[in-house]
Structure 1
Amino acid sequence: MIGLEIRPLRDDDPPVIAAAFEKLGWPKPESQYRRYLEEQAAGTRDVLVATVDGAYAGYVTVRWESPYEPFAGIPEIQDFNVLPKLRRQGIGSALMDAAEALVAERSPVVGIGVGLYPDYGQAQRMYVRRGYLPDGRGLIYDGRQVPPMEMVRNDDSATLMFTKTLR
């Protein structure tokens, strides 16, 4: 895409990103991105921001120590978002390419989780097309495996976890 830039999260990004999601009615406060800046400075998370012609378009983060226990030692791609009006234009693929390249500098494998309700449908399909495979542990809720017959709420905490070999 012409005019697409992928760069690290900057100090002036949090209010811009939060405002973009507020317009969509999504609960992503500025404080979340301030925390991401702190984590980026500490080296525990990297945040890649996509802009098109200088305007915010999306972001993805790499958490270097995944809180998901089975991913011990495997960095995890988290919080991947492209503004809905800009989807299916290659921005998400460019963000994922950049995140995977960043992880490949330090790890041969990357992990990712994906939600289960229809809002995550495009992401589910994208991850499979990119070569991500389920980790085989089934439904995960708040980072823990859900035992058979246990009821859980189908919200953002319900995920399937995937891994991909990068090199």
Structure 2
Amino acid sequence: MNLVIRALQPEDPPVIAAAFAQLGWPKPQSQYERYLEEQQAGARDILVAFLDDRYVGYVTIRWESPYEPFAGIPEIQDFNVLPEVRRRGIGTALMDAAEARVATRSPLVGIGVGLYPDYGAAQRMYVRRGYLPDGRGLIYDGHQVPPMQTVPNDDNLTLMFTKQL
């Protein structure tokens, strides 16, 4: 297995968008072009994984989290490994690289995870890696969900975690 993890490059957005389009996932090229701009501005780092010269996944580090309780805590966001290459250590390698990069600037890292079954593998991975819930309960679109309030169980509903590096 020849796995290479490197920073997002200008030629990557169409490749990544095409890979997700084949899966029917709504991840347009413009998203990765915006990520590239944010990387160039120093707001976000994007680590991209290639297996035998084929794109297979990525993770981003947002240096200033929009989640208010994470003020000053970098947040790992938008972590994806193509389904056909999961369970081969690619996600672990991406997370190792992201955490190592964060550790150069912060002793603490944050991450959020969705709550429906598609996020099950990520939920388990984060707990195994030592991430702990931040104790604020459910978060919807960046805001704490008050008791007894009903919200949709979609990508905006998360549980936020932190980890000491």
Deviation of 1:74 (Å): 0.1
TM-score under structure 1 length normalisation: 0.98
Per-residue deviation, residues 96-150 of structure 1 (Å, max 9, x unmatched)? 0000000000000000000000000000000000000000000000000000000
Confirm or deny that 1:158 pairs with 2:151: no
Query: Are 1:53 and 2:52 an aligned pair?
Result: yes
Indicate the SS of the match to 1:21: helix
Amino acid at match of 1:51: F
Matches within 5 A, 1:82-101: 82-101=81-100
Say which SS state the counterpart of residue 137 (structure 2) adopts: coil
Per the alignment, in what secondary structure is the counterpart of residue 136 of structure 2? coil
- Output the CA distance in 1 between the equivalents of 2:146 and 2:85: 38
Matched ranges for 1:115-154 at <5 A: 115-154=114-153
User: What's the Cα RMSD here?
Assistant: 0.3
Q: CA deviation at 1:8?
A: 0.2
- Please list the CA deviations of residues 41-90 of structure 1 after superposition, one character each: whole Å capped at 9, or x if unmatched: 00000000000011000000000000000000000000000000000000
Aligned equivalents of 1:54 and 1:20: distance in 2?
A: 14
Aligned residues: 165
Residue of structure 1 equivalent to 2:14: 15
Indicate the percent of aligned positions where both proteins have the same amino acid. 79
Give the aligned partner of residue 31 of structure 1.
30
Letter in 1 for 2:105: R
Amino acid at match of 1:162: F
Q: 2:86 & 2:162 partners in 1: Cα distance?
A: 23
User: Corresponding residue for 2:105?
Assistant: 106
AA aligned to 1:44 is A
Q: Which ranges of structure 1 fall in alignment gaps of 5 or more residues?
A: none
CA distance in 1, matches of 2:85, 2:34: 25
